[in-house]
């Protein structure tokens, strides 16, 4: 009995490891209202104010809540990647509702306007704005970037913390969400006439799947596509196009699952080991034409066996995950299925 219990526990830990972690700013949203008027709360809010870039966004991989940016230092480069910006904006909106401090409102509006301006006419968002000359200019689903923006803008139209926005601002947010949904539907990759899922990045103009870093090839994404599907299934009134996109996407998720193996992110041990009790896995990237999992070192050469790439990338990147499990569970109770 114990091996079976141990296997289930490990499966649970593996699944939890792939659930998006809150950013430091998002963690503040768990605080009670009176915390925002405390000395500790005010210090955290002052820190957030100090880290806003000149364009209105915030840097990634930075705890913007812990201490203020040195006033003499150069303002940071902001981004929408890795959960940056939307968490800070949510905190500031709540802080304004509670305290009435107009600095929080003004800082929020700079960030809110920045998100709207950064959206492409086709509905997609780059990883950061103003645009770079690199892969950051592509429409970015990678690590949930575009979905976080859509979730934020959707919440702007209906949650209490954002009631200070006027009708025109909320309408602009709603239009941005509608354009984003249209972009998602149009980006869904069709193979031999059958809609499948999405790439982690899509070309800013053509919407074709494109490469990001050297080891992130144009492909069908087993990770980012799940985040897209979960967002689409969370819509109150999905359009017929969105419903069709979900049906097709979930069908691909079901067809692409890998059973009978356990994944270990290691530089020294085999990445996959046989285990009949292991939960289903999905590869991070699948070759578009063949649906085969693909892997790569930093040299950009595609491999079809994870053991053929070097230890640095094999242990330094998440190539498999249990992502699809949640999509299948949500689809099973989705009212539009």
- Give the model's confidence band at 74: pLDDT under 50 very low, under 70 low, under 90 confident, else very high: confident
Enumerate the domain spans of the chain: 22-186, 188-337
Each residue's pLDDT tens digit, 88-109: 999 999 999 999 999 999 999 9
State the number of CA atoms in the 13 A half-sphere of 2 facing the CB: 0
Q: Could you tell me which residues come within 8 angstroms of residue 130 by beta carbon, excluding any fewer than 6 positions away?
A: 55
Question: Which pair of structure tokens corresponds to residue 331?
Answer: 């689809």
213 counts as catalytic = yes
Please name the CATH architecture into which domain 22-186 falls. Alpha/alpha barrel (1.50)
Report d(CA 257, CA 141) in Å as an integer: 21
Q: Do domains 22-186 and 188-337 have the same CATH topology?
A: yes
318: left (phi over 0), alpha (psi -120 to 50) or beta: beta
| DSSP annotation string for 214-249 | TT--S-EETTHHHHHHHHHHT-SS--HHHHHHHHHH
Mean pLDDT of 284-291: 97
**Nearest partner of 129 among 180, 70, 84, judged by Cα:** 84
Burial of 62 (0-12, 13-18, 19+ CB in 10 A): middle
Give the chain's mean pLDDT: 94
- Give the model's confidence band at 75: pLDDT under 50 very low, under 70 low, under 90 confident, else very high: confident
Mean pLDDT of 221-235: 98
Is 0.75 topped by the overall pTM? yes
150 compared with 4, residue with greater pLDDT: 150
Q: Are 144 and 86 in contact (CB under 8 A)?
A: no
Query: What topology does CATH give the domain 188-337?
Result: Glycosyltransferase (1.50.10)
pLDDT at 18 over 50: no
Each residue's pLDDT tens digit, 181-225: 999 999 999 999 999 999 999 999 999 999 999 999 999 999 999
Catalytic hit among 175, 179, 213, 326: 213
Each residue's pLDDT tens digit, 296-321: 999 999 999 999 999 999 999 999 99
């Amino acid at each position: 009995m114990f091996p079976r219990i141990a296997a289930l526990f490990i499966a649970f830990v593996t699944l939890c490891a792939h659930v998006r972690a809150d950013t430091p700013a998002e963690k503040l949203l768990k605080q009670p209202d009176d915390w925002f008027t405390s000395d500790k709360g005010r210090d955290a809010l002052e820190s957030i104010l100090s880290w806003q870039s000149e364009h209105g966004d915030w840097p990634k991989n930075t705890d913007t809540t812990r201490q203020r940016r040195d006033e003499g230092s150069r303002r940071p480069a902001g981004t929408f990647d890795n959960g940056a910006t939307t968490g800070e904006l949510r905190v500031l909106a709540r802080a304004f509702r509670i305290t009435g401090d107009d600095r929080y409102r003004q800082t929020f509006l700079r960030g809110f306007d920045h998100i709207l301006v950064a959206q492409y006419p086709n509905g997609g968002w780059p990883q950061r704005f103003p645009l770079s000359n690199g892969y950051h200019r592509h429409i970015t689903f990678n690590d949930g970037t575009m979905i976080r923006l859509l979730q934020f803008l959707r919440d702007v139209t209906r949650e209490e913390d954002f009631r200070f926005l006027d009708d025109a601002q909320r309408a602009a947010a709603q239009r941005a969400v509608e354009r984003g949904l249209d972009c998602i539907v149009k980006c869904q990759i069709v193979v031999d006439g059958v809609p499948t899922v999405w790439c982690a990045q899509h070309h800013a103009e053509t919407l074709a799947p494109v490469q990001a870093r050297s080891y992130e090839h144009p492909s069908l994404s087993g990770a980012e596509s799940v985040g897209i599907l979960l967002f689409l299934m969370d819509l109150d009134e999905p359009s017929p196009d969105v419903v069709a996109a979900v049906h097709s996407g979930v069908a691909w998720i079901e067809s692409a699952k890998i059973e009978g193996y356990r994944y270990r992110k290691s530089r020294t041990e085999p990445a996959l080991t046989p285990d009949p009790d292991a939960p289903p896995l999905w590869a991070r990237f699948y070759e578009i034409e063949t649906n085969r999992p693909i892997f790569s070192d930093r040299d950009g050469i595609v491999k079809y066996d994870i053991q053929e790439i070097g230890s640095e990338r094999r242990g330094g990147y998440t190539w498999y995950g249990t992502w699809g499990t949640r999509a299948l569970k949500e689809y099973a109770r989705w009212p539009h299925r």
